[in-house]
Structure 1
Amino acid sequence: MRLLFWVALLFGGAVGLALFTQFNQSNVVLFYPPYRVELSLNLALALLLLVFFVLWTLFSAARHLSEMPRRAAAYRERKRMSGAQAALREAIENLFAGRFARAERAAREAQAWPAQAQTAALIGARAAHRMQESERRDKWMEQVTDPEREQARLVSMAELLVDARDAEGALETIAQLQAQGGRQIHVQRIALRAHQHLKNWSEVLRLARALEKRNALHPVLALRLKQMACEAMLEERRQDAEALQDFWRTLSADERRAVRIAEPAARYFAALGKQDEARKIVEEALKVNWDARLVQRYAECAAPGQALPLIQQAEKWLVQHPADADLYYTLGVLCLGEQLWGKAQSNFERALKYADTAQQVRLRVRSHLALGRLFEETDRLEEAQRHYRESAMLAA
């Protein structure tokens, strides 16, 4: 439609110009004494247009000639910028592809454009780090001086230091970052790894809890880290009942019920004479996680002469787990402590009956030893010797 409009306008102008020149009989007279020049108006207008076109062409050519140096410089700058951008893309692709030497070379080429020189330095630092060139990595990082890129430099440096097992250096870098207000999830992950290397278990536990709340850690990994931290912190307090109790109160219900936390906690409480606390720990944990380690630990939760409530509880569990060899062994140990010889013998024998897997050889050894001690206490020496021999053969 637009083309049709312009074609119509062009033809209309041509028709108007033809009519104007056909009926125009005017003349133009120019006096320049002693000369006199007489022209038709049509020719005069045509000459004026021609002069205007020639002058416009001359001025345009002069302007373009004067701008040629600037345009040449702009062209060279655009070419250098385009080459630097291509080199930066190549450096990133090579870094992700594992071609670290090529990535570092491309990063140097990308620095030809000053606007991206420091970004290229960050890529070069990562490439040098992957090749275990720590000095070259640090030289790359020294080139990043722009305040706007300070956070990127610190985060990258902390991550690279943790990867190089320099946990203290990583934490110092993170301290600088946090002094500037940096509290990103990624920084907390880096700090978690650093504290894990340094075995700062209280910080590992705190960070694992914080990251788990923000869904920044896989639940399985978060649980594993919390278990490791709690196991270590429980072991540090195993000789101090008050400190052990205070730490236990700080744990959440889910943490207390985890097998790898509840089992050592019950062991340490029982060793310190806190059998009631140990019993509560095991019973609460077994409500959620039925585990052989907790079941066997239950036998240590009875104070001398006070095992009857634990025996009653174990017999209730037998209703739900009638073929659990570990539970029969634990019940036999509790009965043995109360000198219930017949009941202890039957439970140990049932433990041997149900402990029929390759993973339960150790339980069979312990059951034979327990029966040997039982028969020795009741003056049945031949049977005691038979069970001792069985345990020795299994252990061998």
Structure 2
Amino acid sequence: MIRLLLVALAVLACGAAAAFYLRAETGYVLISFHHWIVETSLLGLLTAIVAGLFGAYALLRLLVAGVSLPLTVRRMLQRRREEKAQASFETGLLRLLEGNWKRAEIELVRRAADHHAGHLNYLAAARAAQRLGAGDRRDHYLRLAGEIAPEMEFVTLLTQTELQIERGEFAAARDTALKLRGINAHHPYVIALLASSYDGLQAWESLRQLLLDAGTREALGEERYRELMTRTLRECLLEAQRLARLDRLKTVWEAAPKDFRLVPEVRNEYVRGLARLNAHAEALAFVADVLARNWDPLLAELYGELHASDPLTQLAAIEEWLKQYGERPELLITAGRVCLRNRLWGKARSYLDAVVRVAPSAGAYLELARLCEMTQNGEEAQRFYRQGLEFSAGL
């Protein structure tokens, strides 16, 4: 409009200038065509020409506007729908963040077809449906998102895996996460989701193999990695014990990262496994090596439950640790058990009495009762049994 006004002003200015210069001599123009004769001044002719051009231009604009009117109306309506779709999408996201799941789902789905990024509507709607416990609707929205934007398959599968884990659908989450790994094997979040699905399924061997992969530790973060690796190693060691597979037990232990072999939970489970699978000699050597360098009360107590081919050497090792670490209750009761097993009644009684003095426990009273039974002292055995029961009951 402004441009048209400027053109009109320019034309008027030119006309005024022409009138000024032609005021003394207006000129004469004669036009004869068949039986038509037109007589006018030069200024009049110029004015007629300009008016004709303007008229032709206006008529042409009118014709073009008439022809393009349907397209213009369609574009206007489309723009209006897109504006409403964008407003509905923003409102839906806001409701989702507010925790108004039902309203969020309605707003996100209502105008998704008109939104330029409709797959985002459906991905967000899937989250809202999940919160409402509508698994079928959630899966339907995820399918629609995949159909609308097949090039966004990775994002859709990532959202699907998240929601499946959140709802406890670990088998489905594992399958989806494996598809994601096929697309991008090194994506940190994909690794984290796959690890969570294995953890939920208690698929310990699969999780162990994943945790041993290069890059998994960095992808999960140190705290999460240590939590998962510790639990996985323990479960794999326990599984080897249930299957009575000593070779499997050693394979899991030897493949474990070095820093995790120092974790007490893992290390002690390995020793228990060696003991339960009758590898007592290896267990004795392992415990002796650890206790020679660091104190571990659980290993010290476990040492007394192991059967040695040379009991005197076993007892000598315990007595050496008593000198190194002092009269710790775990070492005293271990020494008492070893002496009891080798019928060294006097030494067994002295060690077990020391335990009761230092740190009385139900286990110490039980060993004393067993010692009394073996030495034909039934009345004293009954007294120790009673004391052990009272200690356990907190009396």
TM-score, shorter chain, exceeding 0.5: yes
SS at 2:330's partner residue? helix
Tell me the distance in 2 between the aligned counterparts of 1:207 and 1:254: 17
Native 8 Å contact 1:257 1:288 kept in 2: no
Paired residues of 1:209 and 1:222 also in contact (CA < 8 A): no
Q: Partner of 2:391 in structure 1?
A: 394
So what's the TM-score if we normalise by structure 1?
0.78
Decide whether aligned partners of structure 1 residues 271 and 180 sit closer, same or farther in structure 2, where only a CA change above 3 A counts. Answer: closer
- Corresponding residue number in structure 2 for 1:297: 302
1:341-366, Cα deviation, whole Å (9 max, x unpaired): 554444333433343xxxxxxx6111
Q: Which amino acid aligns with 2:356?
A: L
Change (3 A) 1:202 1:140: same
What is residue 142 of structure 1 aligned with on the other side?
Answer: 143
Deviates more, 1:287-296 or 1:108-117: 287-296
- Aligned 1:202-221 pairs, distance under 5 A: 202-210=205-213, 213-221=216-224
What percent of counterpart residues are identical? 25
Aligned pair 1:128/2:129, yes or no?
yes
Structure 2, unaligned runs of 5 or more = 1-8
Are the counterparts in 1 of residues 300 and 331 from structure 2 also a CA contact under 8 Å? yes
Check whether the contact 1:256–1:262 (CA below 8 A) recurs between aligned residues: yes
Whether the 8 Å contact between 1:257 and 1:284 is mirrored in structure 2 is no
Q: Which amino acid aligns with 2:352?
A: F
Q: What are the within-5 Å matches in structure 2 for residues 1-396 of structure 1? A: 21=20, 25-33=24-32, 37=39, 39=41, 52-53=53-54, 55-113=56-114, 115-143=116-144, 144-145=146-147, 146-180=149-183, 184-210=187-213, 213-238=216-241, 239-283=244-288, 290-309=295-314, 311-312=316-317, 315-316=320-321, 319=324, 321-322=325-326, 324-355=328-359, 364-377=361-374, 383-396=380-393
1:28-59 CA-partner distances (Å, limit 9, x unpaired) = 32113586746466x76666555555554454
CA–CA distance in structure 1, aligned partners of residues 215 and 52 of structure 2: 82
- Superposition TM-score, scaled by structure 2 size: 0.78
Q: Give the length in aligned residue pairs.
A: 376
User: Aligned letter for 1:81?
Assistant: E
Give the Å deviation of 1:159.
Answer: 3.4
- CA gap of 1:395–1:32, structure 2 versus 1, over 3 A, is closer
1:275, CA displacement in angstroms? 2.0
Describe the shift of the 1:253–1:288 C-alpha distance in structure 2 as closer, same or farther (beyond 3 A).
Answer: farther
The residue identity in structure 2 corresponding to 1:315 is E
- Offset of 1:124 from its aligned partner? 2.4
8 Å contact 1:299–1:330 — kept in the other structure? yes
Gapped regions of structure 1 (runs ≥ 5): 1-9, 356-362
Distance change >3 Å, CA 161–CA 78, structure 1 → 2: same
Q: Please report the RMSD computed on the Cα atoms of aligned residues, expressed in angstroms.
A: 3.8
CA-to-partner distance for each residue in 1:166-213, whole Å, 9 max, x for gaps?
333333334444455555333333322332333321012122344874
The Cα offsets for residues 325-346 of structure 1, whole Å up to 9 and x where unpaired, read as 2233223333444555554444
Residues in 2 aligned to 1:218 and 1:182: alpha-carbon distance in whole angstroms: 17
Letter of the aligned partner of 1:371 in structure 2? L
Post-superposition CA distance 1:249-280 (Å, at most 9, x none): 22232222222222222122123332232134
Q: Distance in 2 between matches of 1:237 and 1:118?
A: 47
Cα 1:119/1:314, change in 2 over 3 Å: farther
